[in-house]
């Protein structure tokens, strides 16, 4: 049964379950949306999920959970995260910047000019990961927009503004710097009415001056999001155009002066460039996973994995996925996305970090929320110290085929006790079935939001 059919069969059961079950955690469908690998320590990996931030310091054998309240957000907010050179984690919030410099225990909201600002994106300098860029874009009481780029040279501890304020009619959405030339910065967004054109602003002097460049086909309903900048050529930049009916991938080879559409999909939830810049991966939970060489940009589908995010490092291609259907919440591929090894599964999630004392924001806030969260997402209530998780998806567990089964059915058995799996404990056989069906209902809702259009090259029908 494919993802859409499974969702259709489960919709009524999922709705019944949500009506009959008291609200726990934040009530959102449990899934991952961003993966980050520490630039100085590949064993330190961070995953942003819909129920908090997950961290591991042993390459994925055991994961700790940091609750949203400790970081400073709640509800349906999905903050953009970065991990800097010393392992600090920075989170851009609707109302400020939150940062931890001690492995996730104490979180502090930035004061001064960044206080209360909508921090929409963050980016580290690949050559110097202690250097961070921040994009803030806030609608003020006068309906004017305050958009600024800020820079930190000390892992997010102190900040200075890079250049002046942007025009008050510009709403920023993403930023990135060129790995080969940190002076080159790109910011994407849109102008205000009446036309709301989507644009990319480019700086060649680290934000002192800017040039505005149009992105064809983009506006307030088709916003341009920066996807990647080539690691060797600062003029090669990729933009994801987020559309109402379909998303599109555009590339510019002249610093944003001209653009070419190279790929279309129902949704592009994940986009990642290989570390050497020779391959690019794109995908979603509806379209599966597609990969192309960057010299031709001719995409080939390599699997039906339900992609929720993508990150590519020297270790491999990391992906967020739908654990009930794909067998893991986060996985890693060393063969270009054809197969994935489970990296984060819910049976590896061990609750708040044990090292965080009761006087820290995490130690003070998260332990009291963990048991209800664990029940809601389907994780174990705790892990024994020093004991690795059991089951097929434990550390070093088997690989799941990115295209195994019909339309992305799980190829490797989900982990024992894995969250929201059909074999999850709690509530007996009927409870396990309802849990699985409720998860499938989430797939239906996403499908209805994006439509069923297949990924394709421009012009293909």
CA angle 225, 319, 331 (to 5 degrees): 165
pLDDT tens sequence for the chain (461 residues): 444 443 333 333 333 333 333 334 578 999 999 999 999 999 999 999 999 999 999 999 999 999 999 999 999 999 999 999 999 999 999 999 999 999 999 999 999 999 999 999 999 999 999 999 999 999 998 889 999 999 999 999 999 999 999 999 999 999 999 999 999 999 999 999 888 999 999 999 999 999 999 999 999 999 999 999 999 999 999 999 999 889 999 999 999 999 999 999 999 999 999 999 999 999 999 999 999 999 999 999 999 999 999 999 999 999 999 999 999 999 999 999 999 999 999 999 999 999 999 999 999 999 999 999 999 999 975 575 444 443 333 333 345 544 433 333 333 333 333 334 333 333 332 333 334 434 444 433 333 333 333 355 543 33
Assess contact for 280 and 238: CB atoms under 8 A.
Answer: yes
DSSP string spanning 363-429? HHHSHHHHHHHHHHHT--S---TTPPP-STTSTTPPPEETT-STTS--SSPPPTT-TT-TT--SSHH
Q: Helix-strand-coil percent breakdown of the chain, rounded to 5?
A: 15, 35, 50
pLDDT tens sequence across 256-297: 999 999 999 999 999 999 999 999 999 999 999 999 999 999
Q: Mind listing the domains of the chain with CATH numbers?
A: 3-450 (2.130.10.10)
- Residue 278 DSSP label: S
Beta strands in 116-197 (DSSP E): 119-124, 132-139, 145-152, 160-161, 170-178, 181-191
The three-state secondary structure class of 12 is helix
The three-state secondary structure class of 11 is helix
10 Å Cβ neighbour count for 12? Answer: 11
The three-state secondary structure class of 2 is coil
The three-state secondary structure class of 437 is helix
Give the pTM. 0.83
Question: Which candidate, 198, 100, 205, places its Cα nearest to that of 155?
Answer: 100
10 Å Cβ neighbour count for 154? Answer: 15
Assess contact for 73 and 91: CB atoms under 8 A.
Answer: yes
Cis peptide before 194 (omega within 30 of 0): yes
Q: What CA–CA distances, in Å, run from 70 to 27, 312, 322?
A: 18, 29, 25
C-alpha 136/C-alpha 159 separation (Å) is: 12
Handedness of CA 128, 130, 131, 135 (dihedral sign): positive
Assess contact for 3 and 407: CB atoms under 8 A.
Answer: yes
pLDDT tens sequence across 292-325: 999 999 999 999 999 999 999 999 999 999 999 9
The three-state secondary structure class of 17 is helix
Entry field: residues in the chain: 461
Alpha helix positions (H), 21-130: 68-71
In sequence order, the 6+-apart residues with CB closer than 8 A to the CB of 203 are 163, 183, 184, 185, 187, 209, 210, 211
Question: Which candidate, 15, 59, 49, 1, places its Cα nearest to that of 439?
Answer: 15
CB under 8 A, 24+ apart: contacts of 266-270: 266/450, 266/451, 266/452, 266/453, 266/454, 266/455, 267/450, 268/240, 268/242, 269/307, 269/308, 269/309, 270/307, 270/308, 270/309, 270/310, 270/319, 270/320
10 Å Cβ neighbour count for 199? Answer: 18
In sequence order, the 6+-apart residues with CB closer than 8 A to the CB of 409 are 1, 2, 325
């Amino acid at each position: 049964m494919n993802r859409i059919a499974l969702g259709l069969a489960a919709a009524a059961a999922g709705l019944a379950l949500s009506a009959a079950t008291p609200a726990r955690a934040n009530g959102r469908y449990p899934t991952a949306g961003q993966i980050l690998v520490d630039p100085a320590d590949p064993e330190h990996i961070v995953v942003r999920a819909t129920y908090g931030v997950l961290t591991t310091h042993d390459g994925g054998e055991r994961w700790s959970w940091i609750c949203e309240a400790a970081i400073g957000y709640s509800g349906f907010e999905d903050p953009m995260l970065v991990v800097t050179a010393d392992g600090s984690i920075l989170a851009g919030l609707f109302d400020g910047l939150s940062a931890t410099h001690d492995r996730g225990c104490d979180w502090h909201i930035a004061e001064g000019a960044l206080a209360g600002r909508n921090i929409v994106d963050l980016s580290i300098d690949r050559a110097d990961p202690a250097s961070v860029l921040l994009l803030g874009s806030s609608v003020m009481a006068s309906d004017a927009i305050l958009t600024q780029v800020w820079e930190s040279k000390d892992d997010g501890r102190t900040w200075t503004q890079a250049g002046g304020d942007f025009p008050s009619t510009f709403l920023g959405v993403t930023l990135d710097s060129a790995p080969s030339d940190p002076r080159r910065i790109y910011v994407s967004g849109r102008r205000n009415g009446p036309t709301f054109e989507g644009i990319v602003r480019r700086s060649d002097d680290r934000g002192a001056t800017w040039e505005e460049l149009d992105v064809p086909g983009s506006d307030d309903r088709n916003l341009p999001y920066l996807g990647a900048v080539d690691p060797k050529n600062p003029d090669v930049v990729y933009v994801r155009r987020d559309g109402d009916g379909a998303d599109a991938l555009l590339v510019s080879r002249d610093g944003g002066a001209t653009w070419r559409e190279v790929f279309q999909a129902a949704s592009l939830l994940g986009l990642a460039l290989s570390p050497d810049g020779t391959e690019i991966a794109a995908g979603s939970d509806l379209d599966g996973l597609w990969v192309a060489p960057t010299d031709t940009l001719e995409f080939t589908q390599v699997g039906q994995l339900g992609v929720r995010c993508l990150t590519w490092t020297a270790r491999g291609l990391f992906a967020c996925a739908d654990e009930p259907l794909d067998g893991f919440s986060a996985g890693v591929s060393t063969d270009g996305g054809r197969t994935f090894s489970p990296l984060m599964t819910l049976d590896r999630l061990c609750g708040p970090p044990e090292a965080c004392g009761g006087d820290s924001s995490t130690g003070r806030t998260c332990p009291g929320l963990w048991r209800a969260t664990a029940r809601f997402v389907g994780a174990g209530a705790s892990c024994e110290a020093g004991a690795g998780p059991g089951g097929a998806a434990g550390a070093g567990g088997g690989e799941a085929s990115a295209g195994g089964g019909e339309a992305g059915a799980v190829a490797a058995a989900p982990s024992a006790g894995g969250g929201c799996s059909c074999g999850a404990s709690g509530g007996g056989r009927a409870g396990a079935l309802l849990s699985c069906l409720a998860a499938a209902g989430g797939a239906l809702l996403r499908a209805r939001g994006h439509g069923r259009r297949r990924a394709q090259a421009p012009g293909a029908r």
